[in-house]
Amino acid sequence: MSTSRYAAVIFDLDGVITDTARYHYLAWKRLADGEGVHFDEAANEHLKGIDRMGSLELILASATRAYSDAEKLALATEKNEHYKELIATMSPADLLPGAVAALDTCRAAGLKIGLASVSRNAFTVLDRLGITDKFDYIVDAGTIAKGKPDPEIFLKAARELGVAPGDCFGVEDAVAGVASIKSAGMYAIGVGDPAVLTEADQVIPDLAAFRIP
| Binding-site residue positions for Mg(2+) | 12, 14, 172-173
Q: Tell me if 119 sits within 8 A of 139, measured CB to CB.
A: no
Q: Which of 12, 94, 127, 167 is catalytic?
A: 12
Integer Cα distance of 82 and 118 in angstroms: 18
**Phi/psi at 18 (nearest 5 deg)?**
-145, 165
Based on the residue annotation, tell me whether 14 is a catalytic residue of this protein: yes
**Phi/psi at 182 (nearest 5 deg)?**
-65, -40
Based on the residue annotation, tell me whether 133 is a catalytic residue of this protein: no
Which residues, listed in sequence order, are joined to residue 168 by a DSSP beta bridge? 8
Q: Residue 188: which of 44, 16, 50, 21 has the closest Cα?
A: 16
**Cα angle, residue 170 at apex, residues 165 and 173 outer, rounded to 5°:** 150
Distance of CA 10 to the CA centre of its chain: 11
Q: Residue 190: which of 21, 16, 5 has the closest Cα?
A: 16
Distance of CA 142 to the CA centre of its chain: 14
Give binding residues as ranges. Answer: 12-14, 28, 47-52, 55, 79, 117-121, 148, 172-173
Give binding residues for substrate as ranges. Answer: 12-14, 28, 47-52, 55, 79, 117-121, 148
Q: Which of 14, 69, 136, 201 is catalytic?
A: 14
Residues carrying an active site annotation: 12, 14
